[in-house]
Amino acid sequence: MSEPQKEDIKIYRGDDFILSLEFGYIDEATGEFTAHNLTGQPIIAQIRKTTATNSQLSAAFTINRTDEAVGKIIFKLAGEDTQGLSGGDYKYDIQIYKTTKVYGTATIIEDVSR
C-alpha cells in the first residue's frame, strides 16, 4: 500500500473550486501508469478546521465520478460551500474505501469584491 499524497490547495472564499485527480500507480519495471478502477468504491472528501476528532465539518466536496473506471475523479466545491468560512488554514483529505489517498492544507483566501 502506498503512502497518502500531500497536496495543499488554495480556495477563494465564495468562488467555485474544482480539483481533478487521477488515481493509479506507476509500474516500477516499465514506468507505465496504470489507473485504478474506482467503480463503486466509497469516496469522501471533507474540509475541517483541525484534525481533532470533535472538529466540525466545514465543507464537503461534491464528487463527480464520470470517469471512475479509469481512475479519474473530480472534486468540486460550489461558492456557497465556502462563503461562510473564515480565511485561513483548514485541513482536508480524500478517502477511498476508508483509506486516505490525498491530504493537505486547504487555505481559504478571503475575497474582497461583494
Where residue 71 falls (left for φ over 0; alpha for ψ -120 to 50; beta otherwise) is left
In sequence order, the 6+-apart residues with CB closer than 8 A to the CB of 40 are none
The whole-number pLDDT of residue 6 equals 97
Read off the pLDDT of each residue in 99-108 and give the average, rounded to a whole number. 97
CATH 2.60.40.10 given to domain 5-109 = yes
For 68, the 3-state DSSP assignment is: helix
Q: What is the pLDDT confidence band of residue 1, given thresholds at 50, 70 and 90? A: low
The whole-number pLDDT of residue 111 equals 85
Read off the pLDDT of each residue in 13-20 and give the average, rounded to a whole number. 96
Percent of the chain's residues with pLDDT above 70:
98
Whole-structure pTM over 0.85, yes or no?
Answer: yes
* Residue 81 phi, psi dihedral angles, 5° rounding: -70, -25
Helix, strand, coil percentages, rounded to 5, for the chain:
5, 55, 40
